[in-house]
Structure 1
Amino acid sequence: MKDKSLKELYRKGETIELTISDIAEKDQCFGRLENGTAALVKGMLAVGDWISATITKIRPTYIEAVLDRILSPSADRIEPECPVFGVCGGCKWMHVSYDAQLRYKQKKVHDALVHIGSVEDMPVNPALPAPGITHYRNKVEFSCSSKRYLMPEELKMDVLEKPKDFALGFHAPGNFEKVLEIDRCYLAKECMNSALRVTREFAQEYGLEPHAVREHKGFLRNLMLRYSEEQNVLMVNLVTSWYDAGLMEAYRDRLLSSMPQQPMTVVNNVTSRKNTVAVGEKEYVIYGEGVVQERLGDLHFRISANSFFQTNTKQAETLYEGIMTMAGLREDDTVYDLYCGTGTITLYLAERCRRAVGLEIVESSLADAAENASRNGVTNASFYGLDLKDFHTVLGTLEEFGLPRVIVTDPPRAGMHPKALKTMIRLQPETIVYVSCNPANLARDAKEIIASGYRLEEVQPVDMFPHTSHIETLACFRRTV
């Protein structure tokens, strides 16, 4: 007798029960029903949870469902600290013990390499834990909106405690115009939470109009905060649609009087763009230097409001030391650092080799890289402006630096451009250290690197972002031919 299809076995809206056996992508988890049917379930779940769920879609080989309730909790499950957990979307794993988070992330990297990269069962080292799992971010960006996202319990209220037309917090998941108002972020430094409170009170007292995305009007757009671990200095960057000198002076005075013990600098980025990116077309320094300084290892970095810098300062040092160990540098080496950004990795490399060459397309990042090199007295680092998809067109020019024995590549989340990947392999370095924030794209590129005569020697996940599903990974490739 012919086996029945899933559409014959199940119907949309039907309730099912199953045990979660694995973590999947996009806030989904995986499990199987008693008859072996595969299911992807959306919800804040942990491996080992026994749940009931409602079927939302029936695919040819699996079903999709949404969590109804947890019938029996996993041993990995804990009570999340944050009152808006499950709605905010930032700390999607705060309901899972930290030991379990590290196991999940290690498995996530391993599974990507096996199933996407076709790498034979490559051992993946246990993920290196972060020294602190809350209040670890040195940068947090809040958004302001004229449309506040209402919590589920508020939808049942006749009278709301907070206004609907003002919110300062994080964008609601999947909604570009509504903002979930929060009082405290458990990943931010406490001084950042204080600045958030002061800014909200100031904005409401002065009647500052929040930005309306669709209408493209309103004054207050973003509150971006940076913190220097080395200096204990807080940068407060208010992003607005236009500049108001008197208002900014009043805002500065309010911050200083409300947070007298906190060293700070205050800047105002102004933008007329329609997008919601917290980067201004013009910047005004309202108080202090307008920058903060940070240290990684023996290097010091000057960070402006719009500069890139690793978000977890303490764990960034762990990541960089891992790069150095894998690179195995010699004093006479030439090293290329692809997608070098503001040159933090390049300068780290330069301390232990003859010459380090950083390649990057973003002009402002290159300017920051050159300044960072000068500030630290590093004379054996060079930076070259280049779109890495055109890498092959300038090989002759780069030869003046010397061909690299080691290449470090730290591409964006989308992975390396195929042309850049091919050119990197053509250079035939002895060692490639691939730094990835996306296990799937690391696996994709690893497959091609291995096929070109390299052996994947070591894989080391580094947990930069506790309570989230994100994992940074170091992969070391050695040439075999």
Structure 2
Amino acid sequence: MEKEQYRKGALIELSITDLAEKNQCFGRLDNGMAVMVTGMLAVGDRVSAAIKKIRQRYIEATLVEVLIPSGDRVTPECGFFGVCGGCKMMHIAYEVQKELKRKKIIDAMVHIGGFENPQVKPVMGAVAPLHYRNKIEFSFSARRYLMPGELVLEKPLSSPDFALGFHAPGNFEKVLDVDYCYLAPSSMNEVLALTRSFCLERELSAYSTRSNTGYLRNLVIRSSEHRRQLMVNLVTSWHDSELMRSYAEVLSAAMPNQEMTILNNVTTRKNTVALGEEEFLVAGDGFITERLGKLDFNISANSFFQTNSAQTVLLYDEILRVAGLDIGDTVYDLFCGTGTIALYLSDYCRQVIGLEVSESSVADARKNAALNQREHVLFMQVDLNDHRAMVDALQRHDKPRVIVTDPPRAGMHPKALEVMVRIAPEKIVYVSCNPASLARDGSEICKGGYRLTSLQPVDMFPHTSHIESVACFERE
């Protein structure tokens, strides 16, 4: 069939051959026409889809029905799969998920970075692909997202005016009322259930972004795998000390053997960001402590910390392995955040210099250095997008043999990358959460006289499309 004969709304049939970004998949019609299909699918699915748009070089379509399921499919653990946007790969066997993530990196390195046959190692998978998150952020809403089965009912199964869970994909106003999350430990799910009951019994109002009214905004729960501690942060529009004391009493009574700290962050901003303008300590110390390797880290309500503690150790061990540090080395850690990588490397070199733009992150990093008695680790607040400020900061210290960079998802600013390459360390260890950014920046690093010697993916987020990787570039 010629392209001109396709029309919007027409049904087409094809096999899925690859996964794309978000919840899109790729396939071709029998005549070779490329099609992007929206829907939670697996490679090997034979599907029926409805044409949505006809582009110059491909067709956009929406899934109608899976005609023949792929052999890679499994039954998702979660009943909210397909509606909640969190675990978009839970319907695919975990071993296959890892293969798809590795392919995603290879494709980016080849097609974006121009690397020929990049030697990407097999993905380091998670020992526990479920219940691995040490932080979960739930949202309240005065508008509950109705499940597909409820739309045909005369009356919703529960109140449409209250929800505690996750925002429906692409909808910042409605929230899917989730009673259990399979990425969270059981203790977090217990707090979720207790909080929902507490709020409903007292008829507390959920926040509405439309009217900017309502008391309840977010429930953020953090846990320490090493210390078995919990942090419960209820984010509200104002502080009610008596109500918060009652809330703490309910949690403590229901979970008497759980070490817990309880906080109330208060914000008046007209948004859904779980970050308070003011913080009230209700119970406990106000922080929890997690251990990575030999190091302890105090985690406050709004500080950054990797959300999968077990996989973080694997990731940092890989950084340490490819860095190949000597005890006399100076190491630069760019985009150092709260200092976890810098401190993890500090036992194996003479000094580590960490650079970070966020003032609060630098403050946390210095506290973590003091907590672990690492006087030879220095943290500096520097805007790494300002190459002059970056040069001025680094000129005060010895030339590094190794630079570790862990940039944001968008990758490194071209000027920052230029300065890093000009410093000419023997090795650059690039930690990436975005294969496209790694491919683009990696290509520029190689143009500066380096070669890619190792690329190790680490699965920090099973059942999602995200993949972390550690790439090592050595000067030629």
Question: In structure 1, what is the equivalent of residue 468 of structure 2?
Answer: 472
- Aligned equivalents of 2:56, 2:475: Cα separation in 1: 42
Question: In structure 2, what is the equivalent of residue 413 of structure 1?
Answer: 409
1:272 aligns with 2:275: no
1:304 aligns with 2:300: yes
Question: Does the Cα contact within 8 Å between 2:383 and 2:390 map onto a contact in 1?
Answer: no
Any idea what the Cα deviations from partners look like across 1:407-463, whole Å, max 9, x if unmatched? Answer: 100011111112211111111111000001010111111111111111011111000
> After superposition, where does 1:240-251 map in structure 2 within 5 Å?
240-251=236-247
SS in 1 for 2:348: coil
Any idea what the Cα deviations from partners look like across 1:24-44, whole Å, max 9, x if unmatched? Answer: 112111111111111111111
1:126 aligns with 2:119: no
1:77 aligns with 2:73: yes
Gaps of at least 5 residues in structure 1 are none
Question: Does the Cα contact within 8 Å between 2:17 and 2:43 map onto a contact in 1?
Answer: yes
1:36 aligns with 2:32: yes
Question: Does the Cα contact within 8 Å between 1:5 and 1:60 map onto a contact in 2?
Answer: no
Equivalent of 1:197, from 193, 197, 211? 193
SS in 1 for 2:274: coil
1:323 aligns with 2:280: no
**Sequence identity, in percent?**
58
Cα deviation, residue 394, structure 1: 4.3
Cα deviation, residue 262, structure 1: 2.0
- Aligned equivalents of 1:5, 1:238: Cα separation in 2: 57
Any idea what the Cα deviations from partners look like across 1:48-105, whole Å, max 9, x if unmatched? Answer: 1111111111111111111111111111100101001000010000000000000000
Equivalent of 1:154, from 147, 150, 153? 150
Cα deviation, residue 161, structure 1: 2.0
Any idea what the Cα deviations from partners look like across 1:228-277, whole Å, max 9, x if unmatched? Answer: 00111111100011111000001001111122232211111111111211
Question: Does the Cα contact within 8 Å between 2:382 and 2:393 map onto a contact in 1?
Answer: no
The structure-2 alpha-carbon separation of the partners of 1:471 and 1:397, relative to structure 1 and needing over 3 Å to count, comes to: closer
Equivalent of 1:385, from 351, 371, 381? 381
SS in 1 for 2:258: coil
Question: In structure 1, what is the equivalent of residue 17 of structure 2?
Answer: 21
Question: In structure 2, what is the equivalent of residue 373 of structure 1?
Answer: 369
Question: Does the Cα contact within 8 Å between 1:392 and 1:420 map onto a contact in 2?
Answer: no
- Aligned equivalents of 2:202, 2:215: Cα separation in 1: 12
Q: Which amino acid aligns with 1:302?
A: N
> After superposition, where does 1:67-466 map in structure 2 within 5 Å?
67-466=63-462
Question: Does the Cα contact within 8 Å between 1:114 and 1:120 map onto a contact in 2?
Answer: yes
SS in 1 for 2:289: strand
Q: Which amino acid aligns with 2:322?
A: M
- Aligned equivalents of 1:194, 1:398: Cα separation in 2: 48
Gaps of at least 5 residues in structure 2 are none
SS in 2 for 1:384: strand
Any idea what the Cα deviations from partners look like across 1:166-219, whole Å, max 9, x if unmatched? Answer: 100001100111100000000001111110111111111111110011211111
SS in 2 for 1:400: coil
- Aligned equivalents of 1:441, 1:5: Cα separation in 2: 37
Q: Which amino acid aligns with 2:10?
A: E
- Aligned equivalents of 1:17, 1:214: Cα separation in 2: 41
- Aligned equivalents of 1:182, 1:396: Cα separation in 2: 50
Question: Does the Cα contact within 8 Å between 1:392 and 1:423 map onto a contact in 2?
Answer: no
Question: Does the Cα contact within 8 Å between 1:296 and 1:313 map onto a contact in 2?
Answer: yes
Any idea what the Cα deviations from partners look like across 1:131-167, whole Å, max 9, x if unmatched? Answer: 1000000000000010111111111111122101110
Question: Does the Cα contact within 8 Å between 2:390 and 2:416 map onto a contact in 1?
Answer: no
Q: Which amino acid aligns with 1:288?
A: G
Q: Which amino acid aligns with 1:13?
A: G
The structure-2 alpha-carbon separation of the partners of 1:397 and 1:226, relative to structure 1 and needing over 3 Å to count, comes to: closer
SS in 2 for 1:54: strand
Q: Which amino acid aligns with 2:60?
A: E
Question: Does the Cα contact within 8 Å between 2:232 and 2:262 map onto a contact in 1?
Answer: yes
Any idea what the Cα deviations from partners look like across 1:326-376, whole Å, max 9, x if unmatched? Answer: 111111111110010000001012111111000001111101100100110
Cα deviation, residue 399, structure 1: 2.4
SS in 1 for 2:165: strand
State the number of aligned residues: 476
Please report the RMSD computed on the Cα atoms of aligned residues, expressed in angstroms.
1.0
- Aligned equivalents of 1:454, 1:468: Cα separation in 2: 32
TM-score after normalising by structure 2: 0.99
Runs (4+) off by over 6 Å: none
